[in-house]
Structure 1
Amino acid sequence: MTDWNGIEAADYAIPADRDLEELTGELSRALADPDPGIRDGAAYSVLATWIERGVIDEPRRLALGDEMAARFDDPEIQARTFAPLVLAMLVRKGDFRSEWVDALARWYPAEEDLRGHDEKLGWLHAVAHGADLLDVFGRHAEADPVRMLDLAAARLTAPTAHVWDQLEDDRLARAIARILTRADLSEHEATAWLDVVAADFGADDIGVPVPAHLSNCLRTLRMLYVLADRGVRMTRDDEPQPLHRSPALQARLAEVLDRIVRR
């Protein structure tokens, strides 16, 4: 087995006796490993660094992206949920295929295992990791931001019995907010994705207790309202950026949230 910790300690230099093609394949497999020490350790750091530095060239990166897109159909939950993290690395590097967007759109609202953390498998974070990819696609020139906002709404309104408990609501709200910094969004486009949420909140059969997905949605939209008011950081060290069409967005968010408060 490759000593990824050693590669990390050597400033990510490729071992002289190893082939990059073989190492890239091994890294790909490591990012689906059920052992969180393998999946979320030095192997993750090595892959991220090699992508960022261009050590893995464009043809290999595109092939890796295709592999990650196919991994959304993997039977193992950790394989599915780490695929968007790798795709996000690739898109930030400048790689893009519309098929990757299609793969995210099929998987994200349909994923049923929404555990944030598992005692044996470690971090899974389907909602949060999917939000990270939603974010980079939503700000990419070749992706449709409206489609990404609609996809966020589909995730928010998909029925689930799991209440998000590892700050997934904050992560998704930040992804939505970053998409909403795009200056090319019309007022209608910046708010229309909330219509399906409003319809869900206005249903007659909400019941008691409030279903998990409605609780998840409420917390996400409340955080989004704060970000619409204060701005959103693109990275941890950035100054907050204003959301485009913020007054209209805040007004629509208030209307939607009030549908559940009044019941």
Structure 2
Amino acid sequence: MLIEKLEEKNYSNNKLLLKEMVLNIGNPNPYIRDKLVYNSFLEIITKNYLTNAQLKNLFEQLVTNQYFLYKIGSKNDDTVYKRSFSALTLGILINKEQSFLEKFHISFSVDKTYFFLLNEQDRRGFTNEKGWAHSIAHCTDLLDEIVTHPLFEQDLYDKTLESILFCVNDSFVYEDDEIERLSTPSAALINRYGLSQEYLSMIDRLISNFLSKQSYSHLDTRMISNVRNYLRAVYFKVNLEENKRVLLNRLKKITT
């Protein structure tokens, strides 16, 4: 019944439909999860099928340990789909033009995404049988909506970038555009607030830790490759030439 209604885009009696959609937000079937449920969330949220009270309730439900942080720390199992697609849907909610959110929702969201990025262990991108897992990319997409929201405050800047750099400084081989996606909220913050000294210090520590080694393991090589690709991506997305120059100076240290 859910599949039939979503295929027909029949959003009448949306209270019951919304409940079924939430229950299937992490469905292992990629057709149901991605093509039907996610796309239907996109439509009913952006085209005002839901009241502000429904939007707020949906946000408060998805941001919990039962959805966005569901079994965080699990690896290579189906729980990742619930976390990942909760992140995408939260991003739609935060992006909504007529926002129902208040300032504390934004700071709360930063805390949750910070926890997510520091604790997510399932970093798979595309999975052959079940489609996109993409937890890091989807959480970063959510983060981009948060940092560009009018209620985002500058005192959350360094914490946000710390969580991004934590993911960058990893030996995992990102294969599905994750580094590019990690660079997007980073550049958005730099374009909005400039380069903070703490952010530059975090980057300098990553570079120094690598350069101080006498020899490099294959894991070291992967990590510095992630850092290099990240800095390149951020460099091309920042606006001010002065900020580009500062980033380029760091990039040159690890470019052969």
Normalised to the residue count of structure 1, the TM-score between the two structures is 0.80
| Residue pair 2:38, 2:85 contacting (<8 A) in 1 also | no
Q: Which residue matches 2:163?
A: 154
Distance 2:195 2:251 in 1: 18
Q: Which residue matches 1:83?
A: 86
Matched, 1:61 2:55: yes
Matched, 1:195 2:191: no
Q: Which residue matches 1:226?
A: 236
Instruction: Please give the secondary structure, in 1, of the residue aligned with 2:176.
Output: coil
Q: Which residue matches 2:128?
A: 119
Distance 1:213 1:80 in 2: 25
Q: Which residue matches 2:225?
A: 215
Instruction: Please give the secondary structure, in 1, of the residue aligned with 2:86.
Output: helix
Q: Which residue matches 1:235?
A: none
| Residue pair 1:68, 1:87 contacting (<8 A) in 2 also | yes
Instruction: Please give the secondary structure, in 2, of the residue aligned with 1:3.
Output: helix
Instruction: Please give the secondary structure, in 1, of the residue aligned with 2:119.
Output: coil
Aligned-pair Cα RMSD in Å: 2.3
Q: Which residue matches 2:148?
A: 139
Cα deviations across residues 16-48 of structure 1 (Å, max 9, x unaligned)? xxx322211111122111221111012211111
Structure with the bigger percentage of helix: 2
The alignment of Structure 1 onto Structure 2 pairs a total of residues equal to: 236
Distance 2:138 2:157 in 1: 14
Distance 2:125 2:223 in 1: 15
Change over 3 Å in CA distance of 1:43–1:116 after alignment to 2: same
Fraction of identical pairs, as percent: 22
For structure 2, the 5+ residue unaligned runs are 72-78
Distance 2:117 2:157 in 1: 11
Match of 1:32 among 26, 30, 40: 26
**TM superposition shift of 1:87:** 0.7
Distance 2:253 2:243 in 1: 16
Q: Which moved more, 1:26-35 or 1:142-151?
A: 142-151
Distance 2:130 2:158 in 1: 30
Distance 1:138 1:156 in 2: 15
Distance 2:254 2:241 in 1: 21
| Residue pair 1:65, 1:100 contacting (<8 A) in 2 also | no
Matched, 1:43 2:37: yes
Cα deviations across residues 56-96 of structure 1 (Å, max 9, x unaligned)? 11111111112221123212111111111111100111243
Change over 3 Å in CA distance of 1:188–1:227 after alignment to 2: closer
Instruction: Please give the secondary structure, in 2, of the residue aligned with 1:162.
Output: coil
**TM superposition shift of 1:251:** 1.9
Q: Which residue matches 1:74?
A: 70
Distance 2:89 2:100 in 1: 11
Normalised to the residue count of structure 2, the TM-score between the two structures is 0.82
Distance 1:148 1:118 in 2: 33
